[in-house]
Amino acid sequence: MQAIENLPPCPVETTLLLMGDKWKVLIVRDLLSGTKRFGELKKSLNGISQKVLTSHLRTMEKNGLITRKVYAQVPPKVEYTLTEVGQSLKQVHDAMLDWGKNYQHQCNTTIN
Amino acid sequence: MQAIENLPPCPVETTLLLMGDKWKVLIVRDLLSGTKRFGELKKSLNGISQKVLTSHLRTMEKNGLITRKVYAQVPPKVEYTLTEVGQSLKQVHDAMLDWGKNYQHQCNTTIN
DNA sequence: CAGAATCCGTTAGGATACTG
DNA sequence: CAGTATCCTAACGGATTCTG
């Protein structure tokens, strides 16, 4: 793997380089529940275009975050799965999930 | 607080809305070590322009993540501090930090 | 179905100059 | 020092069309 030549010294910046993107985070969110086909991802990622989805999937594959499996059949079937490294993003995802919940709660209680 | 009208139902998307930005994450990283002045932030955020830094600080303030304290003196002195909600982003930050470290390590060992 | 290839508009963000 | 005000460009991403 490793498409990126020089990783930033700061680990946080490294993470941002690989995941510092709205769509990538949401792709991980959707793949954390299991392998998905291209069409399924496109649907659950409400609003993304195939072009953008494809390009993100490609770079995430190069970076070793996901695996792309093509079935030789017509019509085509392509499945995307998180690699082990990709799976480990669950921690980051969960932290964002928890924080988002709390923030939403804060807003609801603060509004009064 | 709450500058955002309709928070997305998905907590992850809520987080992305407030923190799904390279610079904001790095601002939080720098403020987690304590209150900082505008100039200090600009310096440690290597490469950011004042315009962008200012605008991000403003929206983060509106969103209740940071506090802005202006000292009535010449030359001006402005300090930025994480609010309690902002502090709670430490969990997200730390998750990103850990993951980045691991990824960097993966790369170094995989290169052989 | 899963894309590749174009075209195109918006805009995030950098550079610069000025100010209280 | 900590901004505000402009100007300007790269590029992200949406829409559309076509194909194996």
pLDDT at A3 over 80: no
pLDDT at A11 over 90: yes
- Region B32-44: mean pLDDT is 97
Nearest-CA distance B68 → chain A (Å): 20
- Region A77-83: mean pLDDT is 98
Give the pLDDT confidence score for residue A82 in this predicted structure.
98
Give the pLDDT confidence score for residue A101 in this predicted structure.
97
Task: Take residue A81 and report the two structure tokens written for it.
Answer: 């799965």
CB neighbour burial string for B51-72, b if at least 16 within 10 angstroms, e if fewer: eebeebbebbbebbbbbeeeee
Structural domain spans, chain B: 11-111
Interchain contact, B22 vs A1, CB within 8 Å = no
pLDDT tens digits, one per residue of B53-106: 999 999 999 999 999 999 999 999 999 999 999 999 999 999 999 999 999 998
Interchain contact, B15 vs A100, CB within 8 Å = yes
- Return all residues near A50 (Cβ < 8 A) that are at least 6 apart: A38, A42
Give the pLDDT confidence score for residue A112 in this predicted structure.
45
Residue of B nearest to A15 (CA): B100
pLDDT at A40 over 80: yes
- Tell me the HSE value of B77 on the side-chain side, using a 13 A CA sphere: 6
- Region B19-34: mean pLDDT is 97
Give the pLDDT confidence score for residue B36 in this predicted structure.
98
pLDDT tens digits, one per residue of A43-68: 999 999 999 999 999 999 999 999 99
- Region A105-109: mean pLDDT is 83
Residue of A nearest to B17 (CA): A22
Rg, Å, chain A Cα set: 16
Task: Take residue A100 and report the two structure tokens written for it.
Answer: 């988002």
Residue B80 burial class via C-beta count within 10 angstroms: exposed 0-12, middle 13-18, buried 19 and up: buried
Mean of all residue pLDDT scores within chain A: 93
CA distances from B91 to A27, B51, B69, B86 (A): 21, 28, 25, 10
A14 and B103 Cβ atoms separated by less than 8 Å:
yes
B2, amino acid identity? Q
Report d(CA A91, CA B47) in Å as an integer.
Answer: 29
Interface mutation target, options A31, A103, A105, chain B, most CBs of B under 10 Å: A103
A50 CA vs D17 C1’ separation (Å): 13
Nearest-CA distance A78 → chain B (Å): 26
Q: What is the pTM of this model?
A: 0.94
The beta-carbon neighbor of A88 closest among B91, B102, B110 is: B102
- Return all residues near B53 (Cβ < 8 A) that are at least 6 apart: B23, B27, B38, B41, B42, B45
- Tell me the HSE value of B71 on the side-chain side, using a 13 A CA sphere: 10
Determine the CATH number of domain B11-111.
1.10.10.10
A41 touches strand C (CB under 7 A): no
Give the pLDDT confidence score for residue A5 in this predicted structure.
66
- Return all residues near B111 (Cβ < 8 A) that are at least 6 apart: A2
Calculate what percentage of chain A has a pLDDT beyond 70: 93
- Strand partners of residue B37: B79
Does A3 contact chain B (CB < 8 Å)?
A: no
